[in-house]
Chain A
Amino acid sequence: MSFVQALLISLWAGYCSYDDQGPQMLRRPLLVGPIIGLILGDMKTALIISGTLELMWMGLGNMAGYQTPDMIVGTIVGVSVSITSGTGSTPQGIAAGVAAATTVAVLVQQLLLFARFVRQLFEPWADKIALTGDFDGIMKINIVAVIFQFMLRAIPTFLVVYFQKGVVDKVLAVIPKNILSGLGIAASILPAVGLAILMTMMMKGTLWPFLILGFVLSTYLKLSVLPVTLIALSFAIIYMFVMEIMDNQKEMATKSAVTQVDDEEEYDL
């Protein structure tokens, strides 16, 4: 990998780092990864590994203050490792990419704790600006924050991507072939983890029939995700209307019951 390529990758990492905390348009592996393929000239590998990581980390995301493993640097390193080590989109290449991505993601997670500490310094600064009553002053903090956020991932990514040259090749050369292909098979089980996390967040009591419906649509009818989504959408909207009608009927029933009681009371009088 040339110096320019490493530089471009680290610039992209920096931008994604800003984006993850700011606009949140590119926070997922599938959107982060393909640009690396563009820079390194192997789009197919980049797409396959980003797609695998996307499914694997589907349920992961920063929620309620918990810092998850860093998907951005993980994806970038994972994709560039499997492209530069020459394994490409073979099962071994995917396995190497996934393993590298996961390891790096965990390491960078610690770096993000440091970022939290630095951001803590913004608070007294903001309080001081508030005392001046200058509305535009608060912009200074944001600009510093953007630069800091950019550097936070750009620098380590450059170091890892530029100096990993050869290291991964040597590691891959040492590991026996059958273990590598085993790793590839194991990697294809991993989407289960992301989906299980997603399930804990979505499943509430009565939703089991819907899960089975989706499963059946794909196992027996061999439908892919897009048609399933469209079927699900129309199904959900119909279900909602039916529930609404039932609620209305219930309401009417209780209302008429109330008026009946009223009538009887009047009659008694």
Chain B
Amino acid sequence: MSKDVQITEEELNANKNTQNKGTYQKITRKDLNKIYWRLQIFGLGLTSTNDNMQAIAFLTAMVPALKRLYAKADLKTRVKAMQRHLMMFLSQNTASGMILGITTAIEETTNEDEKEAVIAVKAGMMGPLAGIGDSVFKITIQAIAGSIGAAYALQGNFLGPILMFIIYNAINIAVKYYGIIAGYEKGIQYIQSGEQAKVMQKIINVSTMVGVIVLGSLIAQYVKINVGTVIRMDKTTIKIQKLLDGIMPQLLPLLFTLFLYKLQDYMPRKYMIWLIFGILALGTVLAVGGILV
């Protein structure tokens, strides 16, 4: 890979004009592409540890940029650069594209004595972007894509998984890739203008709204609770399920889901798996008894 560091005549000339950048060479679009591929192939989780979390993965993704910037640097500077990016990092895969782009831009524009800024910006961005990444990608888009796909899959249609793959990954890849490019090109001005907070908030708001509406629809479609109990009085029989449907179709699924939602206030999430077993057991008993059909 050492040939990647070769610098063309043109780039050297361009570099002479920007004296404030010291001995650095300018980052090219090719480097940004390499950063994207490293993020795409190795992700953040493969090398995550308990102390520095995803730092090794972050450094791995930064290497194309570091190689370009520190092509002619001495050992001490290179070691410092590596150690700087081995500091604690924890964010979300898709959203990290933007952090990588901005970090690259700041690495490029700062002098050796201002490198604290790199660490500060990284630390400042990883929290908020992890929040956005989790709520927008891991929860909302994944849930929407998954439920659209599941609707087809449950009918035995192979279109389901394909549709889910395309919806989720089109957004996933686009945000990762253009996050790096946009982060690099206008990253710093963007943070300083305070504009990004507004845009991010808008994205979160819209996707949460869509997510919640879809959630309501999913409860109606996929949670199935049917009461089989019949009350006999003299000659007339009353089907409980028919009574419930008269009040509102899918009333029990809605109430049960809301009950589980409220239950989580009193029960840590890690016990949810036991809840699944509990529902399976109780449901089986009720079904054998003929109360549920």
Q: Mark A232-254, 1 if CB is under 8 A from B, else 0.
A: 11011101100000000000000
Is A265 located at the chain interface by the 8 A CB criterion? Answer: no
Are A214 and B212 closer than 8 Å at their CB atoms? yes
Enumerate A33-48 residues with CB–CB distance to B below 8 Å: 33-34, 43-44, 47-48
A136 to chain B, nearest CB (A): 6
Is A225 located at the chain interface by the 8 A CB criterion? Answer: yes
Contact partner of A202 among B86, B148, B215, CB < 8 A? B215
Is B178 located at the chain interface by the 8 A CB criterion? Answer: no
In the complex, chain B residues whose CB is within 8 Å of the CB of A106: 273
Are B146 and A58 closer than 8 Å at their CB atoms? yes
Enumerate B13-61 residues with CB–CB distance to A below 8 Å: 40-43, 45-52, 55-57, 59-60
Are A61 and B215 closer than 8 Å at their CB atoms? no
Is B183 located at the chain interface by the 8 A CB criterion? Answer: no
A143 to chain B, nearest CB (A): 9
Contact partner of B45 among A21, A196, A197, A198, CB < 8 A? A21
Is A86 located at the chain interface by the 8 A CB criterion? Answer: no
* Total residues of chain A contacting the partner, CB 8 A: 109
Please classify how large the interface on chain B is, using the bins under 10, 10 to 19, 20 to 34, 35 or more: 35 or more
Enumerate B160-195 residues with CB–CB distance to A below 8 Å: 160-161, 164-165, 168-169, 172
Contact partner of A48 among B66, B153, B225, CB < 8 A? B153
Residue of A nearest to B49 (CB): A123
Is A171 located at the chain interface by the 8 A CB criterion? Answer: no
Contact partner of B172 among A24, A136, A138, CB < 8 A? A24
Residue of B nearest to A22 (CB): B43
B220 to chain A, nearest CB (A): 4
Are A215 and B216 closer than 8 Å at their CB atoms? yes
Report the Cα distance A233→B45, complex, angstroms: 32
Are B82 and A135 closer than 8 Å at their CB atoms? yes
Are A186 and B213 closer than 8 Å at their CB atoms? no
Are A192 and B146 closer than 8 Å at their CB atoms? no
In the complex, chain A residues whose CB is within 8 Å of the CB of B43: 21-24
Is A84 located at the chain interface by the 8 A CB criterion? Answer: no
A260 to chain B, nearest CB (A): 28
Contact partner of B55 among A126, A182, A212, A240, CB < 8 A? A126
Report the Cα distance A211→B82, complex, angstroms: 48
Residue of A nearest to B256 (CB): A192
Instruction: Contacts A126-B55, A130-B82, A225-B148 given; indicate if A142 touches B215 (C-beta within 8 A).
Output: no
Chain A CB within 10 A, most for which of B50, B202, B216, B220 = B216
Is A255 located at the chain interface by the 8 A CB criterion? Answer: no
B197 to chain A, nearest CB (A): 14
- Closest 8 pairs between A and B when the two form their complex, measured CB to CB: A186-B283, A214-B216, A21-B45, A182-B287, A51-B153, A196-B260, A133-B78, A218-B220
Q: What are 18 pairs between A and B in contact, CB < 8 Å?
A: A22-B41, A23-B43, A43-B158, A54-B153, A63-B138, A89-B156, A123-B51, A130-B59, A131-B79, A142-B47, A182-B292, A188-B224, A195-B222, A196-B261, A202-B139, A203-B261, A220-B249, A228-B214
B residues whose Cβ falls under 8 Å from a Cβ of A: 1-2, 40-43, 45-52, 55-57, 59-60, 63, 66-67, 70, 75-76, 78-79, 82-83, 86, 93-94, 134-135, 138-140, 142-144, 146-154, 156-158, 160-161, 164-165, 168-169, 172, 202, 205-225, 248-250, 253-254, 256-258, 260-261, 263-264, 269-270, 272-273, 275-277, 279-288, 292-293
User: Besides A116-B50, A207-B209, A236-B209, 9 other CB < 8 A contacts?
Assistant: A50-B153, A58-B147, A102-B277, A138-B60, A189-B223, A191-B223, A199-B257, A210-B209, A240-B202
A residues whose Cβ falls under 8 Å from a Cβ of B: 18, 20-26, 28, 30-31, 33-34, 43-44, 47-48, 50-52, 54-56, 58-64, 66, 69, 89, 98-99, 102, 105-106, 116, 119-120, 122-123, 126-127, 129-133, 135-136, 138-139, 141-142, 145-146, 149, 178-179, 181-183, 185-193, 195-204, 207, 210-220, 223-226, 228-229, 231-233, 235-237, 239-240
